[in-house]
Each structure stands twice: as structure tokens, then as C-alpha cells.
Amino acid sequence: MNIRDKVAVIGAGCSKFGENYDKSAEDMIVEAAHDAYTDARIDPSQIQAAWVGTLSSASAGNALADPLKLFNIPITRVENYCASGMDAFRNACMAVASGMYDVVLALGFEKLRDSGQRGLGTFGDHPVVGYGTTAPSLFAMAANRYFETYGIDKTALAKVAIKNHHNGTMSPKAHFRMEVSEDQVVNAPLICSPLGLLDCCPTTDGAAAVIICKEELARSFRPDPVKVKGVGLSVTSGEPYMKPSFAYTGFPATAQAAQSAYEQAGMTAKDIDLVECHDCFTITEILNYEDLGLCEKGEGWRYVAEGRANIDGGAVPVNPSGGLKSFGHPIGATGIRMIYEVSQHLWGKAGDRQVKDAEVGLAHNLGGPGSVGCVTILANS
């Protein structure tokens, strides 16, 4: 079944992302949800079901039921690594497209700054191979392989950080709102060589929400609903380092999810006006350009270096929000925050970072050791 034009986004909301020590997870959930309710011009009593994306919370459906007083309706928790939020959105879309519900909520959140953890922990289930592998070490291997394959160095990565930090200065709800220079990025303290501090996204607190309804009902809520054209999900091996064929210069889960979304939408990468992609590290964004079909293999570093990823770059702008690098990465919230961001551009409400004449947007999550890819395509007609 194809969900193209069967589902619409009628409202989107987002809390301030950052070190929200003065807010609980419940505070951010309420902020994001009521922002979305207001945007959709609906009363919470109209929500018939909900999906919540979160990696670390153990409170399941009650994470929404209690703070939002959404009692006696189905609420499902979704956890799928860093794609948890977008997968929650995907499941909500399928439920509406099936005819089961008319109006639903998808919300993602995470409270990471108070957790005491420095990051996501280790990947891999094998007792020896991959034991102790972390997100920085895995993506550092990808960076080193890309450097060796295509003959570039850390200055290529710095272009991503410079762009995304600049975009973040125009995002009022972003975690970081500061410019950085090439010298700062290249000479930042090492996290896992060659990735330095400014090559890595932060651990962040935040929540984001979207209201979804049947396409035929959408204009009864607002005159300009955003249509869901396609949502692709792919899961590959969670232990890529055990596959001799894994080159570390791209992630098949992203390419497969993108192909699925393009096929559902009846589009190609040439139809996309803006992209919000999963730049957990600067190297990841460069690989994403290639895996999403914005450029050929080995050309990702040129795509950013030549300014083609800039908001006014003349090609397809990437991460006008500032991306994970600047906006922040509260795991479960990120995918839905991307839906929020793309919707702002399609509604013409993105302020100083607005992509001119945006009609079609793509959002992309990459989860775990590059094993979970999720891609959503949205359009305003």
C-alpha cells in the first residue's frame, strides 16, 4: 500500500532544545504538544491515538498519557535507535492511512543532560567483535576510510560544521547559536581521531510533536496542510564491521530508505527543495549527500565545499535548521523535529533561514551503527 497523499501534517511544535536543566521531560512534552495543537487549531480531545519516540525513557505510553492527559486512547512507544522519532511518525502515518484513525499525535522527546551519561554507550551484540564500539569511534572509522579513499582531510569536515553552526544562529530553538571558524573546527580537542569536538553533535534535551490527519479532512483544520508523499525505513546489520563488504564510505540503510521513499512519492532527488539529514557527525552529513542521491559517490565533500548545501547555494540546501550539529540531538525528538523543520519551510514560516520557494522537503534519520535508515518526503501540494 502506498500512503502518498493519504495523510497530512496539520500542525507541528517544538520545545527549545538545549541544556534544559530547569525543565523536566514532562515540561518539554507539554510545550511541544501544545505548540502543535495551537498550530493545528485543534483541541486535545480530538486526538484519537498517539505514538511516542524515545530511546532512554522506560515510561512507555504513559510518557504522553500523564503529562498531556491523553487517557483512554491507544498510545504506543517506538524505539529504533536514533530513528525512534521518525519511526513513531511513520507508524502514526500508516495508522491514519489504513483508515483506523482520523487525527493522531506523534511526539518524540529525550532528557539527556541530566542522565549522567556522556553519550549513547556501546554498539554491537557480539561478545568480542565490535565490543566497546561507540558512535564517535564508528563514524571516525568512516571518516578515516573516506579520507583514504578520496584524498581529503579534516578541512572538508570543517565546511559542514561552519555551515550548520551558521544556520543554527537563525534557529531560535537551537541548542547552539554560534558561528565557528575552520581553525576552531580543525584544532578542536579530539574526541576520536579524526573527529574533534566541533565535528560531533551535542547531547541535548528537547521534544517535538506533529499532528497528522486524513488528507481529506486536512483543510477543515488549516488551508495549507503538508502532504506526506512517502516514508521509507530500512534496517541492515547491526554489526557492519563483521561484513567484509562494508566499505564505511556510505550506509546502505539510508540509500535503501531513500529509494523506498522516492518510489512511494513518485520522485527523485532532483525533485527535492531542501533536506534535513542526520548529521550526528560532520562526516555523516557528507556521506548522506551521496546516499540520498544529492550527488555522486565521492562528491559529497565537494557538495558542501562548493556551497551547494547552503541555504542560498543554488542546489539543494541541507540542514537549514543547523542540523543535529547545531540544533541538538535529543534522540527520540530528532526525527520529529526534522518533520517540524521541513514543515516550517513548506509553510513559509522559517524566518531568516527560509528556503525560497520550498515545495518538497526530505527528512532523514540514521540510527545505531548506521544500521537503521528512515526517510520522509513531504510536500505542500
Active site positions, annotated: 82, 329
Do 109 and 206 contact (CB within 8 A), yes or no? yes
10 Å CB burial of residue 43 (0-12, 13-18, 19+) is exposed
Q: How many CB atoms lie within 10 A of CB 170?
A: 18
Supply angle C-alpha 286, 290, 295, rounded to 5: 110
271-to-29, 52, 146, 274, 374 alpha-carbon distances in Å: 34, 30, 28, 9, 18
DSSP per residue, 156-201: HHHHHHHHHHHHHTT-TT-S------HHHHHTSPEEETTEEGGGBP
In whole angstroms, give the CA distance from residue 265 to residue 3. Answer: 9
H/E stretch holding 274: strand 274-276
